[in-house]
Amino acid sequence: MRNIVLMILMFVGFITFGQQKEKLQTVKIQTSAQCGDCKERIENALNYTKGLKYAELNLEDSKVEVKFNTDKITLDEIKKVINEIGYDADEMKASKEKVDQLPNCCKPGGMG
């Protein structure tokens, strides 16, 4: 009987050890987005990025709220994803080449 109890305790301990909690963080990043196309482009890129759980852009203030697993991706890596599609992300500015690839309505001063 003692061996059965010991085995059950070991099994429960093994299962508990295997279930590590994710380290999730939620932040808002200021972007240069200005229209619905920008919103779709940024949300699609972020929501398909490994380590991100959630991304939603508010067009009223151009801030994207992201929830991410800090063990899988860093805040700077998230900002780089935003830069790669042509948008500024807080202090990190998108390259002119990437901005030039955006549709006219998404470029700074465009008709959004």
* Structural domain boundaries in the chain: 22-106
Average pLDDT over residues 1-9: 59
pLDDT at residue 1 tops 60: yes
Could you give the CA distance from residue 44 to residue 81 in angstroms, rounded to a whole number?
Answer: 11
65 Cβ partners below 8 Å, 6+ apart?
26, 27, 28, 54, 55, 56, 57, 58
The side-by-side arrangement of strands in the sheet containing 52-58 is: 24-30, 63-69, 52-58
* The pLDDT of residue 64: 98
* The pLDDT of residue 77: 98
pLDDT in tens, 64-92: 999 999 999 999 999 999 999 999 999 99
- C-alpha distances (whole Å) from 20 to each of 14, 15, 17, 71, 83 are 11, 10, 7, 11, 32
Instruction: Considering the domain delimited by 22-106, tell me its CATH architecture.
Output: 2-Layer Sandwich (3.30)
pTM: 0.79
* The pLDDT of residue 103: 94
Average pLDDT over residues 40-50: 96
